[in-house]
Amino acid sequence: MIAANIQLQKPGFELRAEFEVPAAGVTGVFGPSGSGKTTLLRALAGLEAGVTGNLVVSGAHWLSGSHSMSVQERLVGFVFQDPCLFPHLTAMGNLLYARNRAKNSSYQIDLEHVCEMLNIHDLLNRKAGLLSGGERQRVAIGRALLNRPAMLLLDEPLSAVDQGGRNYLISILENIFQHIEIPIFYVSHASDEIARLAENLILMNQGRVIAHGELKQVLGKIDTPLNASDEAFSVLRCTIKSHQLPYLTTVQTAGGEVLQVPRQPLEGDSVVRLRIRARDVSLSLQRAQESSILNILPATVVALSPEIQQGTRTVKLDVAGDSLLARVSEYSVQQLQLQPGKAVFAQVKSISLVG
Amino acid sequence: MLSADDLSAFVLTFQLAGVSTLILLLLGTPLAWWLSQTRSRWRSPIEALIALPLVLPPTVLGFYLLLSISPSGPIGSLLQALGLPSLAFSFWGLVLGSVIYSLPFVVQPLQTAFSSINRQLLEVSATLGAKSLDRFLSIVLPMSKIGYVTAIVLGFAHTMGEFGVVLMIGGNIPGSTQVLSIAIYEHVESLEYGQAHWLSGILLVLSFAVLLVVYTTNRRGFKVSAP
C-alpha cells in the first residue's frame, strides 16, 4: 500500500494530497493543467524541497514529520515530459549510466530485454541530440527501467512525442507495465491514455486530491469536478465477439450488452477497454428507429451531477451493471423528467477502443 | 637575442601563469558552481567583488595587496605568527596577486557554463542514484568542457600579461620576481629596443594564438567580458 498525506507550500500554489493506492499496478494521476499533478509526482520522488506530512510506501517511511528520505534512497525511476537524455552521452551511454548506478537488489532486469521491449537497438550508438522526440523518450524510459526502480513515475511521457509516435509509444508502455511488478504513477491530462493504462486513479484539482481509488469507481463518482465538466468519460471493459457486420466489430459488455465499434484486427474473446466520452452520449425515452447511431443501449438513471455547467449536467447511468456517463442539457433533464430510477435509452455516438 | 635574464623571465612567467591557473581552477570551480546555483542574497555582492579586477587599475589592487602582505598587514602578520616567510617580493606573493587579478577570467566562463546546464538533467541523475559529487563529475564537468577551455586559456593568458600588480608586490628582481611584462618595461627604460622587440613580439604572437583557440572553440557565441 502507498499511503500519502503530504503538503507543500509554494508561491501561488499549495499542494494538499491525501490518498491511498495499492503498491502495484498503474495509478493514473489525472486533472486539468495547473492542478498539481507534476508537483505531486515530484514530491513522491523527493525532488521538491519543503514537503511535509507522511508518505509510506510498502511499509517504508519515505517521509514522516521532518525526516525525509533523499531522492537517491527512494529508488524511483522518473520519466519527465521532456526526455532529458544526457546530451554528452550516446543512447547506450545513457542506459549504462543508469545501470551502473542501480542499487535495488530486489529484482534483475536485462539490458537486452529492455532494448527489445522499447525497440531501441538501432539507436544505441547515436548521441541524444540526433534522436527524434519519440526515440529520445523510449531511451529515457529504458534508462529509468535499467536503474531497477522500486517505483516508476511518468510525467506526461507522451507530450513531447508526435501523434504517430504516441500510438506506438503507448502500446510499448502498455506492454512494459504488464511486465514489471512495481507500482507505477502515470500523470496525464489525456483521458484516452488514462482509460487505456490505469487501473487506479487519483483525480486532482487545484492542488488537491479530489478522489482516489479503483479507476471505474473514481470515474463513477458523480460529484467530482471532472464529472461536472465536458471532459467526463466512462471506461467499459468488453469482450470481442464477432466481425460479421461490414466494417464493424461486435463487442459485449460484462453485463451482456452488445456494442458495435469500428473494425478491429483482434481475435474473438480478447478483452478490450472502451472509452466513451460523456458528451458523446445522449438520452431518449424511446429507442430511436432507423437512426444512424449504431449503439443504443437500454439504461437506468442512477444519479445526476449536482453542478450545472453551461446549462449542462452529467447523468450517471447503469447499463446492465456497467456505469456510463452522459452529458445532457438541463433543459432536457427537465423535459425528459430524468431522475434516479428512470428508464432511458443511451445513444452512443462515438466510442474509442483504447486497448 | 634573448639574454639569460630574459630567459629566466620567460620561465618565471610560465611558471607563474601555470601555478596560478591551477589554483584558479581549484578555487574557481566551487565558487562558480555556487554562484550558478545559489539564490542567496550574497550572490550579487560576491559577483561584484570577483569582477572588481576587471575595472580596477592593477596598481590599486597591488597597493592594497602590498599593504596586507607587509609585516604589519593582516596576511603578513599572520604568516609571521605562523613562522612562514613573507610573501612580499616572492614568487608566492606573485601567485597570490595573480589569482586575485585573474579570478573573474576563470569564474565567469565557468559560471556561464554551469548556469546553462538544464537543472532537470541533474534531477534525472539524482533519481538514478547519483549523489552530488557524482553528478558534478559525470554530468556537469563533461558538459562544461568549453567553459573550462575558455577559463584555462583566459586565466593563463591574463596572468602572463599582468604588470601593475606584479610591479607593486613583486618588484623587479631578475630570476626571482621579474616577469616578462616587467622585463620589457626595463628594456624600454634602458633604451634596449631590440630586446624589447623580441619579448614583445613573442608575447604578441602567443597571446593571439591563445585567443584564436578560445574563439574557434567557442564558435557558439560564448561571451567573455574583458576590461
* Residue B132 distance to chain A (closest CA, Å): 10
Q: Quick one: average pLDDT of A213-231?
A: 90
The DSSP annotation for A63-130 comes to: EETTEE--HHHHTEEEE-SS----TTSBHHHHHHHHHHT----S----HHHHHHHHT-GGGTTSBGGG
- pLDDT for res A301: 95
User: In Å, how far is A174's CA from the nearest CA of chain B?
Assistant: 23
* B4-217 belongs to CATH 1.10.3720.10: yes
> In this model, does residue B199 exceed pLDDT 60?
yes
- Residue identified by cell 594564438 is B209
CA distance A233 to B22: 64
User: Residue B127 and residue A143: Cβ atoms within 8 Å?
Assistant: no
Q: CA–CA separation, A335 vs A328, rounded Å? A: 11
Question: Once rounded to an integer, what is the mean pLDDT over residues A119-140?
Answer: 93
What is the spatial distance between Cα A79 and Cα A140, in angstroms, rounded to a whole number? 7
Q: Please determine, for residue B94, whether its predicted confidence score (pLDDT) is greater than 70.
A: yes
Sort out which chain A residues have CB atoms less than 8 A from B128's CB and list them: 97-98, 101, 143-144, 147
Question: Shortest Cα distance from B45 to chain A (angstroms)?
Answer: 26
A291 compared with B152, residue with greater pLDDT: B152
For the cut 90, the answer to whether the pLDDT of residue B221 exceeds it is no
Q: Which residues of A touch B138 (CB under 8 A)?
A: 97
Task: Give the per-residue pLDDT at B99.
Answer: 95
Residue B219 pLDDT? 67
Q: What is the pLDDT of residues A279-290, one digit of tens each?
A: 999 999 998 888
Q: What is the DSSP letter of B84?
A: P
pLDDT for the residue numbered A267: 79
Q: What is the mean pLDDT of chain B?
A: 89
Q: Which residue of A has its CA nearest to B132?
A: A72
- Only one residue has cell 600579461, namely B161
Residue B5: what pLDDT?
A: 85
- What pLDDT does A79 receive? 96
For residue A69, pLDDT over 90 is answered with yes
Q: Which of A44, A69, A70, A86 is most worth mutating to test chain B (most B CB atoms within 10 A of its CB)? A: A86
Of the ranges A161-170, A262-271, B147-156, which one carries the lowest mean pLDDT score? A262-271
Mean pLDDT, all residues of chain A? 92
pLDDT at B226: 37
| pLDDT of A105 | 87
pLDDT for position B139 = 96
Least confident of A104-108, A139-143, B170-174: B170-174
Domain boundaries, chain A: 2-219, 233-353
Q: What is the mean pLDDT of residues A88-107?
A: 94
User: How confident is the model over B108-128, as a mean pLDDT?
Assistant: 95
The half-sphere exposure of A254 on its side-chain side, counting CA atoms within 13 A, is 10
The answer, yes or no, to whether residue B222 has pLDDT greater than 70, is no
Distance CA A72, CA A62 (A): 11
Contact across the interface for A88 and B124, Cβ inside 8 Å: no
Distance from C-alpha of B135 to C-alpha of B123, rounded to nearest angstrom = 9
* A233-353 classified as CATH 2.40.50.100: yes
CA–CA gap between residue A61 and residue B210 (Å, rounded)? 56
Complex-level ipTM: 0.86
Assigned C-alpha cell, A341 = 430510477
Looking at per-residue pLDDT, the higher value among A224 and B29 belongs to B29
The residue-averaged pLDDT of A131-136 equals 92
The interaxial angle of helices A133-146 and A163-179, nearest 10 deg, is 10
- Chain B closest CA to A153's CA: distance in Å? 10
Please judge whether B128 and A103 are an interchain contact, meaning their C-beta atoms are less than 8 angstroms apart: no
Instruction: Give the range among A205-219, A220-234, B87-101, B161-175 with minimum mean pLDDT.
Output: B161-175
How far is the C-alpha of A267 from the C-alpha of A242, rounded, in Å? 8
Q: Could you read off the pLDDT of A309-321 as tens digits, one per residue? A: 889 999 999 999 9
CB contact under 8 A, A47 and B127: yes
A36-49 average pLDDT score: 94
Asked if residue B225 has pLDDT above 80, the reply is no
pLDDT of residue A16: 95
Picking from B120, B130, B134, the nearest residue to A82 by CB comes out as: B120
Which DSSP symbol is given to B58?
Answer: H
pLDDT of residue B162: 86
Nearest to B126 among A71, A80, A82 (CB): A71
Mean local confidence (pLDDT), A50-77:
92
List pLDDT tens digits, range B159-191: 988 888 888 888 788 888 888 888 899 899 999
Q: How many helices (H) and strands (E) does chain A have?
A: 9, 21
The predicted structure's pLDDT at residue B220 = 54
pLDDT reported for residue B223: 43
Q: Hey, what's the cell of A20?
A: 491511498
Q: Name the E strands within A43-182.
A: 52-57, 60-64, 67-68, 76-79, 151-155
What is the predicted pLDDT for the residue at B105? 95
In chain B, the residue whose alpha carbon lies closest to the alpha carbon of A86 is B121
**A78 closest CB neighbour out of B127, B131, B143:** B127
State whether B127 and A103 contact (CB < 8 Å).
Answer: no
Which of B127, B134, B139 to mutate to test binding with chain A, by most A CBs within 10 Å of its CB?
B127
Residue B76 CB contacts under 8 Å (≥ 6 apart), including other chains: B68, B69, B70, B86, B87, B88
Query: At B227, is the pLDDT very low, low, confident or very high (cuts 50, 70, 90)?
Result: very low
Chain A residues whose beta carbon lies within 8 Å of the beta carbon of residue B127: 45, 47, 71, 76-78, 144, 147
Residue range A2-219 forms a domain whose CATH class is alpha beta
- Closest Cα to residue A19, out of A6, A29, A4, A39? A4
Q: Is the pLDDT of residue B217 over 80?
A: no
Measured between beta carbons, which residues in chain B are less than 8 angstroms from residue A72?
126, 129-131
Report phi then psi at B131, rounded to 5: -80, 175
pTM above 0.80, yes or no: yes
CB within 8 A of A335, min separation 6: which ones? none
**Does A84 sit within 8 Å of B127, measured CB to CB?**
no
In chain A, % of residues over pLDDT 90: 71
